[in-house]
Amino acid sequence: MIPNTTETHHWVERLKNAIRDPLALCRQLEINPADLPGGLAGLEAGHKLFKTLVPQPFIDLMQKGNPHDPLLLQVLPLGAESLTTQGFVTDPLQEQDYNPLPGLIHKYKSRVLLTTSGACAINCRYCFRRHFPYADNSLSTSKMPAILNYLQQHPSVNEVIFSGGDPLATPDSRLAAQVQQLETLPQLSRLRLHTRLPVVIPSRINSEFLNWATSTRLKVIMVLHINHPQEIGSELIQAVQRLKEANILLYNQNVLLHNINNQASILAELSEALFTHGIMPYYLHAFDPVAGASHFSVDDQQARQIYAELLAILPGFLVPKLVREYPDKPAKTPLGW
């Protein structure tokens, strides 16, 4: 199939034109920075620590004039990011201990994670990789031979996860070439894409993407990252429809975040909306203690309480697994309740 350059242009332009100035974000949403916790100084201090980045389709889902909007709070820099909080560190999952090659993280027996891109289309303030050294770890084409060699040395690996950053921030031509190389290894059967890009720029799901994702012999699974039902807008629903028509399996993972989704009723609404659109709830992650984001933290006791309430609302198949990731465990650990 010949790539549709208009479609490519569309998502690339949306990324290029994403808001990078927190004051411009406030202006557009008719919010006075003085009304935010920490005021203008806090906004600027947070932005210095981790740059603001929000694409327009995500802003379009926010409510004007509401400084407590749950989508806005995920991306708005705040002075609280400057706080030093005990136990909150730059690499909470110690991923650098599982990084045998640039671009590859190998923690679990049967799968490896490739950091295909250091870029994201949005900077989520709570991101556990907000301090990750992407410059050393982006997966350029020149690193692929070493990756293929590593996989051959580890035949128990049958699944590759494209992560990042956001893997879909990478041009399709490069992703297609990497997938073509990976599928030459008979040991591999699945390719998983962990991405937030279709949520924040739904036009990323275009024919160029679908072309390579449907022509590989690997079974493609997409794990979206949607934290709140308000993130499911009409453009995302159309993108999800295209993914379903392409037989791509769709799951969602999200993070339990203070003041954003730490209520069973919100999580239940999210699961119902996901299911309506053909996406299965997968993981609800307990918050990873990353430096600069302690104001998003929900403690394990509260997490268990919310989860117990969620279990009482939803049928079991709509309840995501509540898990915590520990640096030294062979898998994600369910939080008991």
Q: Shortest gap between Cβ of 161 and ligand SF4 (angstroms)?
A: 13
123 vs 262, beta carbon nearer ligand SF4? 123
Peptide bond into 165 cis (omega under 30): yes
80 vs 168, beta carbon nearer ligand SF4? 168
- Count of CB atoms situated within 10 Å of the CB of 172: 20
Beta-carbon contacts of 311 under 8 Å, excluding residues fewer than 6 positions away, are: 319, 337
Q: Shortest gap between Cβ of 162 and ligand SF4 (angstroms)?
A: 12
Q: Shortest gap between Cβ of 285 and ligand SF4 (angstroms)?
A: 10
Helix (H, G, I), strand (E, B) or coil at 193: strand
Burial group, residue 337, by CB count within 10 angstroms (0-12, 13-18, 19+): middle
d(CA 184, CA 172): 19
Nearest Cα neighbor of 168 from 122, 126, 134 is: 122
Alpha helices in 156-233 (DSSP H): 172-182, 197-200, 207-215
The answer to whether 197 touches 222, Cβ cutoff 8 Å, is no
30 vs 136, beta carbon nearer ligand SF4? 136
Please, what is the angle between helix 144-153 and helix 172-182, to 10°?
30
Q: Shortest gap between Cβ of 199 and ligand SF4 (angstroms)?
A: 9
Q: Shortest gap between Cβ of 198 and ligand SF4 (angstroms)?
A: 11
Q: Shortest gap between Cβ of 130 and ligand SF4 (angstroms)?
A: 7
Question: Footprint of ligand SF4 on this chain (CB under 6 A)?
Answer: 120, 122-124, 127, 129, 164-166, 196, 225
127 vs 160, beta carbon nearer ligand SF4? 127
196 vs 228, beta carbon nearer ligand SF4? 196
Q: What is the DSSP letter of 50?
A: S
65 vs 327, beta carbon nearer ligand SF4? 327
